Structure 1
Amino acid sequence: MRKTVLLIFGITILQVNSSCKSQYSATELNNNFTAEQISDLKKITDFFKKEMCLYMDSDFKTCYKQIPHEYLEATGNPFWININFEKQKELYKQISKSTFDEIWMFCKSRTYPDGLESKSLCANATGKYQKFLSDLGGINPRVAKYAEGINASGDFSPMDFHYWNVLKIKKYFDLDDPNIQLILAIHYLSLNDQEKRKDKWEEE
């Protein structure tokens, strides 16, 4: 009798754990990307987590909360500035070109007043990643607004996903949700690239 009770208890625990792992929707990701591309997206998220939590041995949610956002913003150095750009460029080499192209593209930017043309990372507003954002926006209004902004401008704005909103609006920013983790990873890595890339624009 005791063995039967233990067995039932064990099955119940497994079911609960399975339920916890599957509480976040993977439909939008699976509907838009191949298995290889999903693996690449995980590499992007994992890299971002590692860089963000460089000196913290904790989970993504805890790391993000423990970052002194207010102090860093006041000094003009938001946390993503500390992401190692050389390592980030190595990350690009570790993912397939098809995955990169579904998220990003390069645009020509011009500095003033000298008029020098440089290469800048932009959003691919017609790629699979944009479609993923739009689909996820069907269940998350804040993501829908973000997707609309990228579609309109073709760019990632530093004003989106301000740390205070991410921390405050828990209903739409569940930091345990792999979808939100991916979106924040791509957003902040994009800002870091735009800030640090110094390549000259060359016509292909």
Structure 2
Amino acid sequence: MRLSTYSPTSLQVVALSTHCSVYSKRKRCIDILGALLGLSITSILFFPIVLAIKLDTPGPIFYTQQRCGLKGKRFRILKFRSMVTNAEQIKHLVKNEADGHIFKNRNDPRITRVGQFLRKTSLDELPQFFNVLQGDMSLVGTRPPTSDEVEQYSSFHFQRLNIKPGMTGEWQVYGRSNVENFDEIVRMDLNYQRKWSVGYDLLLLLKTIFVVVGKRGAY
């Protein structure tokens, strides 16, 4: 496969054809409608979540982080803060229990008490509906990687960047936090690309609801 340099980030991305789902008007309509519905729910839960975060630990309400989307394009992902404010600075003190280009720890001490609840219920991800509405993400897609993860990719891993990242996907429905091998996450992402259809997106969205309600595989 031919590699090309992605400017201005100097990341290498695989020059493959953009996935057909990116051009689907039906998928984009579902994203917009879903994002508007999600933001409506967020507005209802906003003040209780903000109050809980503020009473628990000092710091900002939201957490933003640079992620890589379609073809490596960088964007700022938005979440409710679930960690202490200096989480990135002390990350090196926490053991990485995952295998590959991701970071996971089942008992990460940087997660706050309220943050643990937000993560188990996936409420910390509600602000990402803004990312979906803006078009940087989709409701269903691949896991959005960080820039430092992408810098370590091989050509096999770059294929996951040929589609928009999603709030949910096969990794969320069939593995979630229980999947601790990065190559397995990539295989799920590529399997989603092969199987994609609007109907499959709707199926994954329905299954995501059951996974979130059941709090399966979250930490």
The structure that is helix-richer by fraction is 1
- Determine if the TM-score, normalized by the shorter chain, exceeds 0.5: no
Tell me the TM-score normalized by structure 2: 0.27
- Scaled by the length of structure 1, the TM-score of the pair is 0.29
